[in-house]
Chains A and B, each alone.
Chain A
């Protein structure tokens, strides 16, 4: 206990998973990780130039989402007949009758929430990178982006597409359109972007950039 006596609160951090008390290490190299000594969770994992990269990747992801929404997604051919679906069609698959709320939920999971997260992250990080004070609602915006993370399901949708394609493969020929590739790329870019997100780094920057 003595090792923490007299240490200012600013220099302490709590592990959110097991409540272990840690002293903030002075400097962590890019790509190095600070791991909780008790439960093994990664607590801090900074990367050089992370914010600029996150902004670039988030902007890329937004463009890919627009491309994915407004181009052909999947085309099905069987015995000379054609059928096609866009990503919006997939989201609206449950729109008949009482299943409508599910359509709204699917639309939220695969389109609205991923886009909202990208916008919130841009809102938080753009002023910080530009050297301006943090946006007034940056703490709320970044908290919301983090809270929405489990509900952003674009990558699960992509695997769902793969499973659906396997299911119809024997009965019909499926031709993936540009939207299919754009959405796949979007998932890849999002995963890459998440690998640059270090919560401690972002919260510290918001805190330092706050107007007091």
Chain B
């Protein structure tokens, strides 16, 4: 397989058109051209750290504030799942736990793993890395589901003094964390994965 770079050319990552190496912008779609995005990994790490830092308050502060006639409860992400579990809703508790704890952490690990193990072929082959990257890229945005659930619950459960749900500040940091990790995945130049294949 000949790569565009080996042929002395540069490919547009937006529309696929091929240009001579010296071209700076694609003449079909206008995208800036670069044979490899040299700053890709720096940006991946910057967004990765931003996402990880935002993920900490997302777990420490409450996601939902529930007030009823008799009580006021603040629940964090994990606390909410534990509550559901104690309540007997094991299935829902597991879904919440997987969606808001397991997947985000797996995503952080997968991006870091890709960035560290890039071109270290004894750890992982190109095809496996390519697939892992596709999964991370695909799944990233779905974490936003938690923020939407909070939005729907808070806008729907409004029985004045009897029962009200309000959003907690953790929703903001959770949303930021998801957006930052999406940016981390989007900053990745997957062409680098294949550079040492021979």
Interface residues of A (CB under 8 A from B): 1, 3-4, 9, 12-21, 37-40, 43, 74, 76, 78, 81, 83-85, 89-94, 96, 98-99, 101-102, 105-106, 109-110, 139-140, 142-143, 146, 150-151, 153, 156-157, 159-161, 163-164, 166-168, 170, 172, 174, 199-200, 203, 206-207
Contacts and interface: CB of A to CB of B under 8 A. Distances in A.
B18 interface: yes
B18 A16 contact: no
Contacts of B194: 18-20, 38-39
B70 interface: no
B154 A78 contact: no
Contacts of A85: 152, 155-156, 158
Contacts of A15: 11, 16
18 contacts: A1-B2, A9-B17, A13-B16, A14-B10, A16-B13, A19-B195, A20-B4, A40-B130, A83-B157, A85-B155, A90-B152, A91-B151, A93-B151, A102-B171, A150-B141, A156-B144, A161-B148, A164-B156
B124 interface: no
B186 A142 contact: no
Interface of B: 1-7, 9-20, 28-31, 35, 89, 92, 95, 126-127, 130, 140-142, 144-159, 162-163, 166-167, 169, 171-172, 175, 179, 182, 186, 190-191, 193-195, 197
A199 B16 contact: yes
Contacts of B182: 150
A76 to B, nearest CB: 5
Nearest to A89: B155
Contact of A4 (B7, B19, B130): B7
B152 A74 contact: yes
B169 A83 contact: no
A95 to B, nearest CB: 10
Contacts of A39: 126-127, 130, 194
Contacts of B11: 13-16, 19, 21
Given A89-B155, A94-B151, A160-B145, A19 B95 contact: no
A13 B18 contact: yes
A9 B159 contact: no
B157 A168 contact: yes
B1 A20 contact: yes
Given A18-B130, A76-B157, A160 B152 contact: yes
Given A110-B148, A163-B149, A78 B159 contact: yes
B16 A93 contact: no
B95 to A, nearest CB: 7
A4 B2 CA distance: 9
A188 to B, nearest CB: 18
Contacts of A105: 175, 179
B190 to A, nearest CB: 5
Contacts of B15: 199-200, 203
Given A159-B142, A164-B153, 9 more contacts: A18-B191, A21-B18, A37-B1, A38-B197, A85-B152, A85-B155, A98-B169, A156-B148, A207-B28
A106 B147 contact: yes
Contact of A94 (B2, B13, B156, B171): B171
